[in-house]
Structure 1
């Protein structure tokens, strides 16, 4: 990777809006020779085109102007770096959309929480370097054109693409340091990806199934037990795959969740409750069940929560 001159951000929700907004704000202020382009849809796109993306980060408002914003990136210069920050149900369509424009040395950084995101991207993308990653951030779209971030700065951990062990990430890391983004490389990203999934997937399933916030789930002994049981199922699957996880992560993860705002709700839960017609059930419940079958690990609690969600929302997995 020689340099990063052109950045694409595919998906401007809480994650893409935070990182893409930070990049756009910095480049607009300091270096208009490098460009960031936003790929979004609907009213969100229209507001960004007219007013810029408004990013409220810990009560500070940043007005972030990309070099261009569109639903179809065909008129943009080809990217050196593409941040993929879409929902999992849009992932395949989004990768197909960018596929014609990704060259051999372009870096694609998927910012989705899931166990098989890297594999899903590589199955569809013909060229480019795909960096397996996980993301830590609390942010969401407040309304079209406006993203809200609370808490610690967003953080990304990534590892090298196993297909390109010779890839030197220093150009990417230097770019992120310049913009003051918290992005780090680790030798093996798998443990971090699985540990983050331990936090996201069980709470996504239980909060949606029970119709409760994080705090309500944690203070209810039965719901707390359901969440812990799903974590244990995920750990057993990971152990079968050689991932260094032990049951001590259950207590550690539940304790970490206790620091979340009491009324916090998972994005999966919000999508279902708001009747958006799409939700990330495949990357959460369905992936656990499938990987459990493949590994010979029973997943009764995951399957139970999936049944409850199906009945409550008429949701098809």
Structure 2
């Protein structure tokens, strides 16, 4: 199968690099100095299960890509989805499987509206990775898992399993979900409280690992999402608060969520999808979410627009 990975950051770079190292036909969409370095020197991956990898992988800008892909991984921020839709449309057909790997809930469902005739799943990823320098990705920890699936039915189950087998052959733990809304929300229950609490107190992960108000705030946010999950009928095999604490405690103390970094830069961020959306969900279900209300009020002041988009209907596709 031919793979197209849109976005060559910590997630997309690792997906594309692992696939290329396993001999798969993959093209990376990147830009700027990162793209220049990949073209010149190859893509370097640090911290993988097999040590340092340097792989030669075709890379180009979105405008330069003219081929067709059997599998498209969308690995951009929520606020960039609109920008890459034309590329997904022209690089796909009725046989293509599009797998969005974003922190924002429901991206695949919204993309499917704009991509009629395509198979667009929803998905999430468990990995800690970042661009450490142009052309280089650093992965922290052993976990590299992609979970994806169809929202309704299993019309493409065989195809999704074939993709999973190829991913596993590239040393990527792939899971075809039987309830992707439930499983994507489980990932959301980690990344959203982590991003919201870290940005609220302007602290790296070490600040949430130590006893004190930031850690208690993180816990309150997880509990609010757990109440939403319960109202939606999602059931998990583990205690999600204990699981969330275990995961953040296992991260490097200097880890900072990307939303927090984006807010400090003053540009676009995933504030809407990670902080304001839980407020909307809670209100729709008749639940209280005081922690997320507090985070929305404070972090809204840092957004590039200087307003709280939760006061208005969310855009049908974009997060911000």
Could you say which TM-score interval applies, normalised by the shorter chain? Answer: 0.7 to 0.9
TM-score w.r.t. structure 1 length? 0.88
Which of 240, 245, 248 is matched with 1:257 structurally? 248
Q: Distance in 2 between matches of 1:313 and 1:101?
A: 33
- Deviation per residue, 1:20-69 (Å, 9 max, x gap): 11112222xxxxxx521111222222222222222112483322222342
Which of 179, 184, 190 is matched with 2:181 structurally? 190
Q: Distance in 2 between matches of 1:276 and 1:71?
A: 25
2:205 matched residue in structure 1: 214
- Deviation per residue, 1:131-152 (Å, 9 max, x gap): 2222100100112211111111
Quick one: structure 1 residues 209 and 272, their matched pair in 2 at CA, closer, same or farther if it must change by over 3 Å?
Answer: same
Quick one: structure 1 residues 201 and 14, their matched pair in 2 at CA, closer, same or farther if it must change by over 3 Å?
Answer: same
Q: Compute the displacement of 1:160 (Å).
A: 3.0
Q: Distance in 2 between matches of 1:256 and 1:197?
A: 13
Quick one: structure 1 residues 215 and 68, their matched pair in 2 at CA, closer, same or farther if it must change by over 3 Å?
Answer: closer
Quick one: structure 1 residues 68 and 138, their matched pair in 2 at CA, closer, same or farther if it must change by over 3 Å?
Answer: closer
Quick one: structure 1 residues 68 and 140, their matched pair in 2 at CA, closer, same or farther if it must change by over 3 Å?
Answer: closer
2:105 matched residue in structure 1: 115
Q: Runs in 1 of length 4+ with deviation above 3 angstroms?
A: 245-248, 311-317
Quick one: structure 1 residues 121 and 71, their matched pair in 2 at CA, closer, same or farther if it must change by over 3 Å?
Answer: same
Which of 34, 37, 44 is matched with 1:44 structurally? 34
- Deviation per residue, 1:146-203 (Å, 9 max, x gap): 1111111411122235265343123212212322221122322333222211111011
Quick one: structure 1 residues 270 and 78, their matched pair in 2 at CA, closer, same or farther if it must change by over 3 Å?
Answer: same
Question: Does 55-64 or 129-138 show the bigger shift?
Answer: 55-64
Number of residue pairs the alignment of both structures matches: 305
Q: Compute the displacement of 1:74 (Å).
A: 4.0
1:18 matched residue in structure 2: 14
1:55 matched residue in structure 2: 45
1:10 touches 1:16 (CA, 8 Å); kept in 2? yes
1:239 touches 1:245 (CA, 8 Å); kept in 2? no
Quick one: structure 1 residues 52 and 246, their matched pair in 2 at CA, closer, same or farther if it must change by over 3 Å?
Answer: closer
2:136 matched residue in structure 1: 146
Q: Distance in 2 between matches of 1:148 and 1:247?
A: 30
Unmatched 5+ stretches in structure 2: 310-320
Q: Distance in 2 between matches of 1:207 and 1:282?
A: 16
Q: Distance in 1 between matches of 2:248 and 2:96?
A: 36
- Deviation per residue, 1:84-108 (Å, 9 max, x gap): 1111111222223311331111111
Q: Distance in 2 between matches of 1:25 and 1:57?
A: 14
Quick one: structure 1 residues 73 and 154, their matched pair in 2 at CA, closer, same or farther if it must change by over 3 Å?
Answer: farther
Which of 212, 223, 238 is matched with 1:232 structurally? 223
1:159 touches 1:188 (CA, 8 Å); kept in 2? yes
Q: Distance in 2 between matches of 1:306 and 1:300?
A: 10
Quick one: structure 1 residues 66 and 161, their matched pair in 2 at CA, closer, same or farther if it must change by over 3 Å?
Answer: farther
- Deviation per residue, 1:231-251 (Å, 9 max, x gap): 122122222222225994223
